[in-house]
A = this chain, B = another copy of it.
């Protein structure tokens, strides 16, 4: 019952061409940079995985993390709410070139669709986007005199998530606003792979403080002192590194 994974390469080894991958984080907070870079390294060495559908709130920033995943050519489609950032050039160019498709989803609907995927709710109604372009083609129903849009659940083959502490059973805590989409994506993915800054034994996390219970997690890999996307971008980092 030990869900510990020995290293980052093993952690991302199961992701195959064409799969859907939820990636945690809101902007840089909660972005699992090391897992993403391990996936890029595998692609650069083997040509796989490619044609991924990636679900994230944003579309990357600079040339690391999700932006690098797009820049290196692994991503065929992005489902997100806000594909802008302080340095959005990678996604913007890929989108304008038609090499990455975009499904734009309001942020709260994105969160609720992911939760629904994890909670076995195939569809729900929301007031969000009613009367707008983003509701086009979706069923509309009236409840109590108000109109609502039907939205479908969102699941994925994999989730790549960054947590703070994790035990070997997969119980997780997060750090401040880095929590964001992580708990939801762990629920909605067939396999949730989590990088934790500190791996501990069962019992080390207060049962009251567990944010993601281990039932939602399939693999845990320890990454002490993980990189912050914001700090990498302020240092103009690239992945892979640009030869000097």
Contacts and interface: CB of A to CB of B under 8 A. Distances in A.
Nearest to A148: B122
Question: Quick one: copies of this chain in the complex?
Answer: 2
Contacts of A112: 119, 121
B143 A123 contact: yes
Contacts of A124: 116, 121, 123-125
A33 B208 CA distance: 23
A127 interface: yes
A116 B125 CA distance: 10
Chain A interface residue count: which class?
A: 20 to 34
A101 B114 CA distance: 37
A242 to B, nearest CB: 38
Interface of A: 112, 116, 119-127, 141, 143-144, 146, 148, 152, 173-176, 207-209
Given A122-B125, A122-B148, A124-B124, 7 more contacts: A120-B126, A121-B125, A122-B146, A123-B124, A123-B125, A143-B152, A209-B209
25 contacts: A112-B119, A112-B121, A120-B126, A120-B127, A121-B124, A121-B125, A121-B126, A122-B125, A122-B143, A122-B144, A122-B146, A122-B148, A123-B124, A123-B125, A123-B143, A123-B148, A124-B124, A124-B125, A143-B152, A173-B208, A174-B208, A175-B208, A176-B208, A208-B209, A209-B209
